[in-house]
């Protein structure tokens, strides 16, 4: 069953329930109040008759003299029965009717009201025992027709049934219309979602106008945001594939070219050297990709041991000096003593990536400064250079996979696929730290790594 049908049914069921309860209450209240009025009339009449009766005593006999019962036009019928069950008197409007109005009540010496049918006529009957000198001496029976009550009840029932049915019909129609209106945006959203699936086009958005705070407005916003995120993911996935294929193809092409050369000209040390270096590059690239994939899925196996950051940085400094040769000056700034919990090899790789980048992008006679300071609970490692810097609009992207500021730059022998900073970013993240880049074009760049200091307890053991 559709949501619309269910909503309509629910509305109608609730309304039907409410109508039923109110209808029943109305019916009962009306019946009771009308019957009470009739009962009061009967009781008053009985009281009047008994009050105006006279009792006379002749020796042992007590004689009851009734008032005149000749109210032919009245709506009240009266019968007087003696203790032996014989009819003594009746009102003139009863004509020749001599049956008891309510035979059952004549058996019991108590005053009672009962509904009785005499032939086609529905009557309300009051039976009052007559007691003379504390001896039961007969019954006074008064009756009034219930026709008015019956008619009123019947009209009310008809009104309730017809009115209720009409109200239900209108409510169901209105409910269905409102539900359709309220749910129409869902149809549009479903249709758009289907179109996106059919056309495989994640750039589409739902353009439905809806108040932003409404449920539908929020749904549309959430849906569009999901689409945006999916689109970004797919785009980066595609770019990643393209980048990977490109990066893999270049060294493979070089290897094949050199193999061709060897086949034609025979092995020469230069071709073998080139093959070796391209193969090394491929191995490095694949290794970096694997590392990134593990880091991004949170599966990077990391040791957790106390690492003396200052010692690691000294090693990195030595390697940097070898790497820079005479081209760039590598200097050591402040070097506090610090322990962090983590993976020594990965941390060294992180710092080496930064220092290698700085050396690589800094022109002749530039300077690369490596330093480390303790700032509160943090270890702050900085790698500053006097290179060309990174334009401000590129700066936020340098940690993305395969991102290169100068896209046309010829690939240098060291790294160069645009993965170094992504790896640095993930190693820092997986150590509970953060990495930042600051740069001024023409003046140089500074990369800062913040790592949480190992607690003194961890440092002691
Ligand atoms: P690559 O392997 O190309 O060096 P990275 O991920 O290490 O890739 O760096 C991404 C890009 O950021 C580099 O291509 C380069 O354009 C820029 N970059 C990184 N470090 C520096 C630096 N110290 N000075 C200037 N540009 C830098």
312-366: pLDDT as tens digits: 999 999 999 999 998 999 999 999 999 999 999 999 999 999 999 999 999 999 9
The rounded Å distance from CA 402 to ligand 1 centre is 10
Starting at the edge strand that comes first in sequence, how are the strands of the sheet with 135-145 ordered? 87-90, 77-82, 135-145, 121-132, 112-118
- Would strands 367-375 and 329-335 be described as parallel, antiparallel, or unpaired? parallel
Q: Is the CB of 97 under 6 A from ligand 1?
A: no
If one residue of 392, 409, 418, 447 were mutated to test the ligand 1 pocket, choosing by the most ligand atoms within 8 A of its CB, it would be 418
Decide: 91 and 74 in contact? Cβ < 8 Å: yes
Locate the ligand 1 atom nearest the alpha carbon of residue 406 and give its number. Answer: 16
Same domain, 55 and 7: yes
62, 94: one domain: yes
The predicted structure's pLDDT at residue 461: 41
Residue 410 has pLDDT above 60, yes or no: no
Centroid of ligand 1 to alpha carbon of 405 (angstroms): 7
40 within some domain = yes
| Whole-Å CA distances, 55 to 52, 58, 64 | 10, 10, 5
For the chain, give the mean pLDDT.
Answer: 89
| Average pLDDT over every residue of 255-263 | 94
- Note whether 342 and 448 are same-domain residues: yes
Confidence band for 459, pLDDT divided at 50, 70 and 90: very low
- Biggest distance spanned by C-alpha atoms of the chain: 166
> Considering only CA atoms, which of 425, 430, 420, 426 is closest in space to residue 448?
425
The Cα angle at residue 272 between residues 267 and 277, in degrees rounded to 5: 170
For the cut 90, the answer to whether the pLDDT of residue 220 exceeds it is no
For ligand 1, mutation pick of 355, 370, 404 (most atoms within 8 Å of CB): 404
Q: Are residues 145 and 227 in the same domain?
A: no
What total of structural domains would you count in the chain?
3
My answer on whether 349 and 451 are in the same domain is yes
pTM as predicted: 0.59
d(CA 71, CA 77): 9
Task: Give me the domain span that covers residue 346.
Answer: 305-460
Q: Environment class of residue 215 by beta-carbon count within 10 Å: exposed (0-12), middle (13-18) or buried (19+)?
A: exposed
Do 89 and 139 lie in a common domain? yes
Q: Tell me the two tokens of residue 385.
A: 């250079």
Specify the residue with its C-alpha closest to ligand 1, atom 16: 405
In the block, which residue shows the tokens 């209108």? 170
Residue that terminates a domain, selected from 152, 180, 202: 152
- pLDDT more than 70, % of the chain: 95
CA of residue 56 to ligand 1 center, whole Å: 133
Judgement on whether residues 86 and 10 belong to the same structural domain of the protein: yes
pLDDT over 80 (residue 260): yes
Count Cβ neighbours within 10 Å for each residue of 391-419 and write b for 16 or more, e otherwise: eeebbeebbbbbbbbeeeeeeeeebbbbb
Q: Which residue has the least CA distance to atom 7 on ligand 1? A: 420
314 and 287 both lie in a single domain: no
Whether the per-residue pLDDT at 408 is higher than 70: the answer is: no
What residue's CA is closest to ligand 1, atom 20? 357
Q: Are residues 290 and 369 in the same domain?
A: no
In 92-210, which ranges are E strands?
112-118, 121-132, 135-145
Pocket test for ligand 1, best of 361, 416, 417 (most atoms within 8 A of CB): 361
pLDDT of the residue at 162 = 96
């Amino acid at each position: 069953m559709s949501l619309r049908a269910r909503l309509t049914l629910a509305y109608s069921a609730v309304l039907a329930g409410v109508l039923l309860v109110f209808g029943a209450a109305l019916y009962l209240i009306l019946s009771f109040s009308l019957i009470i009025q009739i009962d009061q009339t009967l009781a008053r009449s009985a009281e009047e008759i008994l009050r105006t009766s006279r009792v006379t005593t002749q020796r042992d006999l007590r004689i009851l003299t009734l008032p005149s019962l000749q109210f032919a036009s009245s709506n009240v019928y009266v019968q007087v029965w003696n203790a032996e069950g014989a009819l003594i008197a009746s009102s003139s409007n009863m004509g020749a009717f001599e049956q008891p109005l309510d035979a059952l009540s004549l058996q019991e010496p108590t005053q009672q009201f009962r509904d009785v049918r005499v032939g086609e006529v529905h009557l309300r009957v009051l039976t009052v025992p007559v007691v003379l000198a504390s001896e039961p001496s007969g019954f006074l029976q008064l009756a009034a027709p219930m026709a008015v009550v019956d008619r009123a009840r019947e009209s009310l029932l008809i009104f309730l049934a017809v009115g209720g049915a009409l109200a239900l019909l209108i409510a169901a129609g209105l409910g269905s219309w409102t539900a359709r209106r309220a749910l129409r945006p869902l149809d549009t959203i479903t249709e758009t979602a289907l179109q996106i699936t059919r056309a495989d086009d994640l750039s589409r958005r739902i353009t439905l106008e809806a108040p932003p705070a409404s449920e539908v407005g929020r749904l549309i916003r959430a849906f569009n945001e999901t689409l945006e995120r999916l689109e970004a993911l797919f785009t980066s996935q595609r770019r990643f594939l393209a980048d990977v294929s490109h990066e893999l193809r270049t060294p493979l092409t070089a290897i094949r070219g050199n193999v061709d050369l060897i086949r034609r000209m025979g092995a020469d040390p230069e071709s073998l050297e080139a093959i070796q270096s391209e193969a090394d590059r491929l191995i490095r690239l694949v290794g970096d990709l694997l590392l990134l994939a593990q880091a991004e899925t949170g599966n990077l196996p990391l040791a957790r041991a106390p690492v003396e950051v200052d010692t690691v940085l000294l090693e990195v400094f030595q390697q940097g000096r070898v790497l820079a040769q005479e081209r760039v000056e590598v200097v050591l700034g402040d070097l506090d003593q610090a322990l962090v919990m983590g993976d020594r090899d990965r941390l060294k790789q992180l710092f080496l990536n930064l220092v290698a980048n700085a050396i690589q992008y800094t022109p002749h006679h530039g300077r690369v400064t490596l330093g480390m300071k303790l700032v509160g609970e943090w270890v702050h490692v900085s790698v500053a250079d006097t290179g060309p810097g990174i334009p401000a609009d590129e700066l936020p992207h340098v940690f993305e996979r395969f991102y290169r500021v100068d896209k046309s730059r010829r690939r240098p022998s060291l790294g160069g696929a645009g993965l170094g900073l992504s790896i640095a970013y993930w190693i820092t993240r997986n150590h509970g730290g953060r990495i930042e880049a600051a740069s001024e074009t023409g003046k140089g760049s500074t990369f800062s790594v913040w790592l949480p200091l190992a607690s003194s307890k961890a440092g002691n053991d």
